[in-house]
Chain A
């Protein structure tokens, strides 16, 4: 990674400890993927919920319809037998021969295979005829059946549905009795083999593993695809679905999720067989019922998973797009912090981040330029006065150093007795003295913002008002000179203690001079040329130890500030007319200052 390498070489800046590295990336990835993931999850959950509800509803409806269809069929089966029995009760017992009735009864057995035995009872409750498929027929036995429910109930309610009973412990049977419409028609009672209902029930296909079955009002099994359960006289009354049916069977739901008799989870729907008080149940194993649902949940889950993976990938990509430039910027800042000014950051995202990186680069470049300038100025300062260095640096030396004329104040100073000292003393001693001397003067030159034009051995030439213009150049020059005398007086006292007899004199003039570059390619100096410079040097030469000689022009400028001795006209070498010079004694203590 391009952003990581510089960060590794440069010491990490203290403001960004490494442990925070990458947390933005994590945040972005987490935030983005959790938002997208949550949206997908919510969508998936809602979808699954609706799917579940619709699917369950549909399943239960289908099952309920199957149960209802079976109930209708079984109801019809019973109704049909009742209808057939009705035929045998149309004639009064007074009319017609028994033979004819027997013939009708036999034909009924032929017509309705489920009826195993048919008994005909006259209006008085006497058994008149009994035909059977197995037992021998009995004619006119006159057995009194008037107290039996199949007679009394049939007479009272026209039809009688007896309880389910088991012949020879295994075959489910029911007595079905129908009374004739006429009072003297009597009752026909049939023993109905309920195994025929099995045909109806076993034809009902409830899914692959489902089944339908019938229980009677007491909850006993009447018909079941596994006929052996019926033949074994199984009681289903304890099953939740049977209890639900018997308890509140009229509720519109008529379906529930429960367990079958073997304890398997099933979806059970039921329907009543109205005239009999029986119930048809249709059961579908839950695993089968929900297999398509589980499939579609799996599909949804897969899509969800893909979506979340996609979201995470997108989050990674986006976060990388965000974080990589940020890290590059961070690394860039670290490099600058470590001193590598001008460090550049490469970000090509084409967005705000790239703009930020560009600004960073601009800033970095400017920082480097500024530092370089500062270093240049620093170097210049070592040779030039700070003012000159500043000016040269800010304006570019060329214009400043062009030859020009200006009115300047010139200060020239040197030591008295230095030549003799330099001859007699060791060079190390001379250099030590010069060093202290220059140090003291330099400090004051800086303080008064004078321009140090040159050193000449112990002589020092200082300009005011060039190259930087300043107000009251002469006043500054004089004030500086006064302080110089004080400073050097201290040094002189020290030197005297060491046995060096050294004094200090100053000459100050004011007038026009020509300033500019002199010298040759490879060695230029900034120099002032003019009589005013010579005059300052000559005045300095004339000055006794401790004296500050100023010319007329200077005096005119500083007269209100200083106390001077009486002027004296001095004849100077190389100057035709005598020059009037003033020795500055001290500064006036002005209240205003």
Chain B
């Protein structure tokens, strides 16, 4: 532990002359979250990972978490607040937070933890050598949206109209919707996208979708929160998102990169940047493990018979 402390400190000292002057100064990590979806699992995974890497909060590292409380327009303000604290780097949870951080600084390193398809949103120009001050973990690519449509078709072969709840404030929305439309065209289903703000109460929106005869709902990852899935269930609308957490929140299905792993993947970036690495030199990592989770309770509540071909592929089945 001592050795690690020493390395960390010396690494930080190399990277920032200010830190060298302060000598015993503990590196400060700014964490920027939108507040939707709930950041708790992300923060827990981040803290676990840091601890495993030898960083103990309050001893050799300080975490400053700032949340926009679901109000996307407050992200910029929170990002500025973090910069005002003179943080050593910013860990931004999901694309809107990364975007806000990027807008706020081109100097302080920013780690995407994760951001959906950073190539198509323009956060980085190449994954191998991102350059600039941004690096980190790429979440699911927009392709996942198409895959979700395919899964819905398999689960509900009769479904012809799928609603999509997409974020008004997320740069990932555009490529995400494009992929979904492409898949829908191939599979012969209709898509009804609705753009909302992250913190917006979902009830009325979902009621409208059901009224327009939507048979399934795809929720963009950055909008995945309890209220949305509860409202969907209330209106008997089968729902799906890329974050595994949705299944436990009352959603029907989740397909996407294993989020817990993605969160943890941010830790090596933090470690290396604190030791003086240049974020532009660190390649963006892509997810390797994709998981299908099916909530059988929701399925039963909705009276859906999950075909064996899906169950066989499911990594997790919530009974």
Q: Chain A: residues with CB nearer than 8 A to chain B?
A: 99, 102-103, 106-107, 109-110, 113, 132-137, 166, 168-171, 193, 195-196, 227-228, 231-233
Chain B 267-310: CB-based contact to A (< 8 A → 1; otherwise 0) = 00000000000000111111011100000000000000000010
9-residue interface stretch from B61-69, B89-97, B124-132: B124-132
Q: Pick from B147, B309, B312: contact of A135, CB below 8 A.
A: B147
- CB of B288 within 8 A of CB of A113, answer yes
Q: Pick from A106, A107, A134: contact of B290, CB below 8 A.
A: A134
Note all chain B residues with C-beta closer than 8 A to A168: 119, 127, 286
The minimal Cβ–Cβ distance linking A197 to chain B, given in whole angstroms, is 11
- CB of A231 within 8 A of CB of B283, answer yes
Number of residues from B at the complex interface, CB < 8 A? 29
A196: nearest residue on chain B (CB-CB)? B288
In whole angstroms, how far apart are the Cα atoms of A131 and B7 in the complex? 46
- CB of B144 within 8 A of CB of A106, answer no
The minimal Cβ–Cβ distance linking B52 to chain A, given in whole angstroms, is 14
- CB of B285 within 8 A of CB of A135, answer no
The minimal Cβ–Cβ distance linking B272 to chain A, given in whole angstroms, is 8
In whole angstroms, how far apart are the Cα atoms of A472 and B126 in the complex? 144
In whole angstroms, how far apart are the Cα atoms of A113 and B257 in the complex? 12
- CB of B283 within 8 A of CB of A136, answer no
Q: Does B186 contact A (CB under 8 A)?
A: yes
- CB of A103 within 8 A of CB of B309, answer yes
Q: Does B313 contact A (CB under 8 A)?
A: yes
Q: Does B150 contact A (CB under 8 A)?
A: yes
Given known contacts A168-B286, A196-B288, is B129 in contact with A232 (CB within 8 Å)?
Answer: yes
Note all chain A residues with C-beta closer than 8 A to B289: 113
Note all chain B residues with C-beta closer than 8 A to A193: 288
In whole angstroms, how far apart are the Cα atoms of A170 and B128 in the complex? 5
In whole angstroms, how far apart are the Cα atoms of A231 and B286 in the complex? 10
- CB of A169 within 8 A of CB of B146, answer no
In whole angstroms, how far apart are the Cα atoms of A133 and B315 in the complex? 13
In whole angstroms, how far apart are the Cα atoms of A109 and B147 in the complex? 14
The minimal Cβ–Cβ distance linking B309 to chain A, given in whole angstroms, is 5
Note all chain B residues with C-beta closer than 8 A to A227: 283, 285
Q: Does B254 contact A (CB under 8 A)?
A: no
Pairs of residues from A and B, 5 with the lowest C-beta to C-beta distance, nearest first: A231-B283, A170-B127, A134-B143, A169-B128, A133-B290
- CB of A134 within 8 A of CB of B147, answer yes
B286: nearest residue on chain A (CB-CB)? A171
Q: Does B183 contact A (CB under 8 A)?
A: yes
Chain B 98-122: CB-based contact to A (< 8 A → 1; otherwise 0) = 0000000000000000000001000
A167: nearest residue on chain B (CB-CB)? B286
In whole angstroms, how far apart are the Cα atoms of A233 and B286 in the complex? 14
Q: Pick from B140, B147, B186, B285: contact of A231, CB below 8 A.
A: B285
Instruction: Give 13 pairs: A residue, B residue, CB < 8 Å, sorted on A.
Output: A102-B309, A103-B312, A106-B313, A107-B313, A110-B315, A133-B147, A136-B147, A168-B119, A170-B127, A170-B283, A170-B286, A193-B288, A228-B283
Note all chain A residues with C-beta closer than 8 A to B286: 168, 170-171
Q: Does B133 contact A (CB under 8 A)?
A: no
- CB of B309 within 8 A of CB of A134, answer no
Note all chain A residues with C-beta closer than 8 A to B222: none
A233: nearest residue on chain B (CB-CB)? B128
Note all chain A residues with C-beta closer than 8 A to B315: 110
- CB of B284 within 8 A of CB of A170, answer yes
The minimal Cβ–Cβ distance linking A47 to chain B, given in whole angstroms, is 32
Note all chain A residues with C-beta closer than 8 A to B128: 166, 169-170, 231-233
Note all chain A residues with C-beta closer than 8 A to B284: 170, 231
Known A107-B313, A110-B315; 8 more pairs at CB < 8 Å? A110-B313, A132-B147, A134-B143, A136-B150, A136-B186, A170-B127, A228-B282, A231-B284
The minimal Cβ–Cβ distance linking B282 to chain A, given in whole angstroms, is 5
B265: nearest residue on chain A (CB-CB)? A227
The minimal Cβ–Cβ distance linking B10 to chain A, given in whole angstroms, is 16
